[in-house]
């Protein structure tokens, strides 16, 4: 038992100094509870306010797509360079080292395949399992204008409500069916609906015209998907334009893991997102990192034997 005689009363209360009250760094997130903010601060870098999310959840409806044949070989070596991992619980448990300590944005909707109608999803993960794997956020697809729009919105709101019980934020993912045009009008509609229904951040696509209006009209942070594989300079240019016009980062998959040099590419993407590097300079970085590995005689396609230590 502590000796009460030795307990000193505090004296230095700095009475004339008002208590500090922080404004949370992410747009639209100041009224959230501490746990939600803490998790969002793991997904987004509090210094830059941005994130490089590495997306490799494609298998949940596409199966073993190019570049994701072996998550242990293709993705694990990229983990040290990502801020957050967008993945399924199956990939996480089977292939991702628990020591990786990166924020996990857990894919929580599913239930269809590329062989069927894409918008026909359900909630595919119980909130308890998201907690069990220590998810920093849950991701759910919303198909505005899609055949199963209503059902996908129901999936979104049910996960948001479950997440509020435990302080886990939800990422609304705007799923755009083939029949819909990815223009500012459509993306503005879809992202705003997701945010108004309570999504804490929203994943969307970049569009050449009017993207700033999409960002301004969405009251929570937006991250952009990479989309189909582009030449590296084009992908870096897209990422640059997106963050320059207000996106809070990228959720990029194929343009990283399908690149000829995935580590060089994710490092180049980081330089754009976190250091405002121009696309040209980031591409130079990509090329020099790629060439370094070439001249060292290394295989640009990663192998587990030289997986860097995961931090
Ligand atoms: C789609 O399967 C997923 O939601 C992906 O996470 C998303 O499309 C981002 O990946 P990519 O940059 O390859 O489009």
pLDDT tens-place string over residues 32-60: 999 999 999 999 999 999 999 999 999 99
pLDDT (0 to 100) of residue 66 = 96
Residue 4, both tokens: 């009460």
Residue whose CA lies nearest to ligand 1 atom number 2: 58
Residue 58 Cβ contacting ligand 1 at under 6 Å: yes
Instruction: Tell me whether residue 90 is exposed, middle or buried, using C-beta atoms within 10 angstroms of its C-beta: 0 to 12, 13 to 18, 19 or more.
Output: middle
- pLDDT, tens only, 11-40: 889 999 999 989 999 999 999 999 999 999
**Nearest-angstrom CA–CA distance, 58 and 17:** 52
For the residues 134-147, what does the mean pLDDT come to? Answer: 96
Dihedral in degrees, nearest 10, Cα atoms 41, 45, 47, 50: -120
pLDDT band, residue 203 (cuts 50/70/90): very high
Q: How far is CA 171 from CA 137, 138, 208, in A?
A: 7, 6, 23
Nearest to 110 by CA among 66, 175, 45: 175
pLDDT at position 4 is 63
What is the atom index within ligand 1 of the atom nearest the CA of 139?
Answer: 4
Average pLDDT of 285-304?
72
Q: What is the pLDDT of residue 310?
A: 42
**Structure confidence by residue, pLDDT tens digits, 224-270:** 999 999 999 999 999 999 999 999 999 999 999 999 999 999 999 99
| Residue from 37, 102, 203, 290 carrying the catalytic annotation | 203
300 has pLDDT over 60: no
Residue 153 CB–ligand 1 contact under 6 Å: no
Confidence of residue 311 (pLDDT cuts 50, 70, 90): very low
Is ligand 1 within 6 A of the CB of residue 226?
yes
**Atom 3, ligand 1: residue with shortest CA distance:** 58
- pLDDT at residue 154, rounded to an integer: 97
Q: Ligand 1 in contact with 223 (CB < 6 A)?
A: no
CA of 18 to the centre of ligand 1 (A): 46
Tokens of 247: 């996106």
pLDDT at res. 306: 44
- Alpha helices of 211-297 — where are they, by DSSP H? 211-216, 232-244, 254-257, 262-275, 279-295
What per-residue confidence (pLDDT) applies to 5?
64
Query: Is the model more confident about 14 or about 311?
Result: 14
Q: Is the CB of 261 under 6 A from ligand 1?
A: no
Q: Is 241 a catalytic residue?
A: no
Instruction: Name the band, by pLDDT with cuts 50, 70 and 90, for residue 1.
Output: low
Closest CA to 101 of 42, 146, 46, 58: 42
């Amino acid at each position: 038992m502590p000796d009460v005689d030795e307990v000193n009363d505090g004296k230095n209360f700095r009475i004339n100094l008002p208590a500090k009250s922080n404004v949370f760094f992410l747009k639209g997130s100041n009224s959230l509870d501490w746990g939600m903010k803490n998790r969002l601060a793991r997904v987004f870098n509090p210094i830059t306010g941005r994130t490089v999310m590495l997306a490799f959840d494609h298998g949940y409806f596409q199966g073993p797509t190019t570049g994701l044949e072996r998550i242990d070989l293709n993705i694990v070596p990229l983990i040290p360079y990502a801020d957050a991992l967008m993945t399924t619980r199956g990939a996480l448990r089977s292939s991702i080292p628990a020591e990786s300590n990166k924020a996990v944005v857990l894919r929580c909707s599913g239930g269809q395949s590329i062989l069927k109608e894409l918008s026909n999803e359900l909630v595919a993960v119980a909130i308890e399992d998201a907690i069990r794997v220590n998810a920093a956020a849950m991701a759910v697809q919303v198909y505005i204008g899609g055949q199963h729009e209503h059902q996908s919105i129901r999936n979104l709101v049910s996960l948001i409500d479950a997440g509020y019980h435990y302080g886990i934020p939800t990422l609304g993912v705007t799923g755009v069916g083939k029949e819909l045009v990815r223009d500012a009008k459509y993306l503005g509609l879809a992202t705003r609906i997701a945010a108004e229904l309570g999504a804490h951040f929203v994943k969307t696509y970049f569009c050449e015209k009017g993207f700033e209006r999409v960002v301004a009209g969405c009251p929570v942070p937006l991250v952009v998907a990479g989309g189909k594989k582009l030449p590296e300079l084009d992908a870096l240019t897209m990422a640059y334009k997106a963050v320059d016009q207000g996106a809070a980062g990228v959720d990029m998959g194929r343009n990283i893991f399908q690149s000829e040099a995935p580590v060089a590419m994710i490092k180049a993407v980081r330089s754009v997102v976190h250091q405002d590097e121009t696309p040209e300079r980031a591409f130079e970085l990509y090329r020099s990192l790629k060439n370094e590995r070439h001249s060292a005689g290394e295989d640009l396609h990663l192998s587990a034997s030289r997986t860097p230590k995961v931090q």
